[in-house]
Amino acid sequence: MPELFIDGRWTAAVDGQVREIRCPADGTPVATVDEAGPKDAAAAVAAARDAFDRGPWPRTPAAERGRLLLRVADFLERDKADFARAESLDTGKRLVESEIDMDDIANCFRYFGNLVCAGGTERVIDTGDPAVDSRVVHEPVGVCSLITPWNYPLLQTAWKVAPALGAGNTFVLKPSELTPHTAILLMRLLEEAGLPPGAGNLLLGSGATVGAPITTDERVDLVSFTGGLVTGRRIMAAAAPTVKKIALELGGKNPNIVFADADFDTAVDYALMAVFLHSGQVCSAGARLLVQQELHDAFVDEVVARAREIPLGGPFDENARTGPLISEEHRAKIESYVAAGLAEGAVLRCGGRRPDDTALQNGFYYLPTVLDDCTPGMSVVRDESFGPVMTVERFRDEDEAVALANDTVYGLAGGLWTQDSELAQRVSSRLRAGTVWINDFHPYVPQAEWGGMKQSGVGRELGPAGLAEYQEPKHIWRNTAPRPQRWFA
């Protein structure tokens, strides 16, 4: 069965291109999928445009749209095992982590399904004139291009597809060319759930070939993108000539601040999880450990001792606690950041190389790495390396901690550890980040907005604001007793 989904039909690429997908854990072929080109991209946009302008979806009652999302949530739970396996084969991530993702994805569809069913977004305005009926309603934005990355492929897709459909939009989805499978499975579920033809379209292919045209096409009204900062800037510029709405989630270089009074064991435990989860390929990874001067030596010694013990392995290795990087190219990028950090004076405490284990040689593994004595100017501190690399900086007091934490172009997330609740409150309000965790790291819920300040992005996903990204407020003013006004009498 072909894998592009355009105007309600499964189809191969017009020019017959295909792409082989290999598992990053061991290089085994996963499948060969259709690879769209510009003609397929144009056809997908045309289908979405037509479905928006003439199709039933934007005119379907909100409660019915919400019920479709709830059905998708049920189907996702039913098919969880297949989805999790497909996600793990594409990404190399542990099966248990993919299973957690699938639960989160079902919850996301359920959250937006219920939000849309609940309605209540219409606002009646009291103009003071009883003859006027004034209301603000929320309409869909139109045709949405949804472009997603490879680290949490279906999760990041769900954060876009669920609110886009819930609000009554039509979409063209382009998942990362490295991880297409769960997007294919999702489109099958949307079809099964009864989404009308053209309302949801799927393009598989590279960013340059099919991503770019769906960010410039004048028939597209909104582009929602999750990925790297460089691509995000490019997309923002590409969307400018036709003034598209944009929503961007561009990652982070997130601080994890440990004050001297923190619960030592718990803070060490979370410092490891914050950065080494999914080998650091997490936009909210706590990659910059900021530790108070007097705690530094003991804390870093313990982090290093435990980091050395983290077992690596493929999706189905039950002893593994983290997996490979997505690609050889991505591993090379991380290696060059570590090399630059060392050249600039960082001290390598552990990792800094590929594992020796012969069983891991065919995968893109890299050892959990701790770089101590880092300073804010180093590229490994400044840039998002997106790998299992923790940089350590020391601070003397609250002011220095906040200054270091905020010394970044990013502003996605940050964590802080202290038993002093007033200190926690003060620091959390001083951090310029979209999410702040106090004595925790990484949790999120679909009810709470997710997104970044500064160059971490534009707009928010999840929560009511995550739905509002896909809506246009419209003010409708009805004069129930019109009379000549004689302005020009």
- Using CB under 6 A as the criterion, which residues of the chain lie in contact with ligand TXE when the complex forms? 147-151, 174, 176-177, 206-208, 211-212, 215, 226-228, 231, 234-235, 249-251, 283, 384, 386
Q: How far apart are CA 307 and CA 319, in angstroms?
A: 15
Closest CA to 251 of 140, 378, 408, 59: 408
Closest distance of CB 223 from ligand TXE, Å = 8
**Among residues 149 and 323, whose Cβ is nearest to ligand TXE?**
149
**Among residues 60 and 256, whose Cβ is nearest to ligand TXE?**
256
**Among residues 227 and 463, whose Cβ is nearest to ligand TXE?**
227
Q: How far apart are CA 227 and CA 213, in angstroms?
A: 17
Q: How many CB atoms lie within 10 A of CB 300?
A: 23
Q: How far apart are CA 394 and CA 383, in angstroms?
A: 19
Sorted by sequence, the CB contacts under 8 Å of residue 374 that are 6+ apart come out as: 288, 341, 346, 380, 381, 391, 392, 393
Active-site residue 350, yes or no? no
Phi-psi region of 352 (alpha: psi -120 to 50; beta: other; left: phi over 0): left
**Among residues 159 and 299, whose Cβ is nearest to ligand TXE?**
159
**Tokens 């979806």 label which residue?**
57
Alpha helices in 140-243 (DSSP H): 153-166, 181-193, 213-216, 229-239
Closest distance of CB 71 from ligand TXE, Å = 27
**Tokens 């510009």 label which residue?**
38
Closest distance of CB 361 from ligand TXE, Å = 23
Closest distance of CB 149 from ligand TXE, Å = 3
Q: Which two tokens stand for residue 338?
A: 């570590």
**Among residues 249 and 372, whose Cβ is nearest to ligand TXE?**
249
Asked whether 252 and 413 are in contact (CB, 8 A), the reply is yes
Q: How many CB atoms lie within 10 A of CB 485?
A: 7
Q: How many CB atoms lie within 10 A of CB 475?
A: 10
Q: How far apart are CA 204 and CA 35, in angstroms?
A: 5
128, amino acid identity: G
**Among residues 393 and 461, whose Cβ is nearest to ligand TXE?**
461
Closest distance of CB 210 from ligand TXE, Å = 8
Closest distance of CB 386 from ligand TXE, Å = 4
Active-site residue 328, yes or no? no
Q: For residue 478, give the 3-state DSSP assignment.
A: strand
Closest distance of CB 248 from ligand TXE, Å = 9
- DSSP H or E segment with residue 421: helix 421-430
Q: How far apart are CA 340 and CA 97, in angstroms?
A: 31
The one catalytic residue among 108, 144, 283, 374: 283
Closest distance of CB 205 from ligand TXE, Å = 8
Q: Which two tokens stand for residue 293?
A: 């001067």
Closest CA to 268 of 298, 310, 308: 298
**Among residues 332 and 403, whose Cβ is nearest to ligand TXE?**
332
The one catalytic residue among 3, 87, 97, 249: 249
**Among residues 292 and 408, whose Cβ is nearest to ligand TXE?**
408
Closest distance of CB 91 from ligand TXE, Å = 11
Q: Which two tokens stand for residue 397?
A: 């007091």
- The CA-based angle 238-222-64, given to 5 degrees, is 160
**Among residues 201 and 471, whose Cβ is nearest to ligand TXE?**
201
| Strand locations in 46-158 (E) | 123-125, 132-140, 143-147
Q: How far apart are CA 355 and CA 368, in angstroms?
A: 10
Angle, to 10 degrees, between the axis of helix 181-193 and the axis of helix 80-91?
150
Give the active site residues.
249, 283
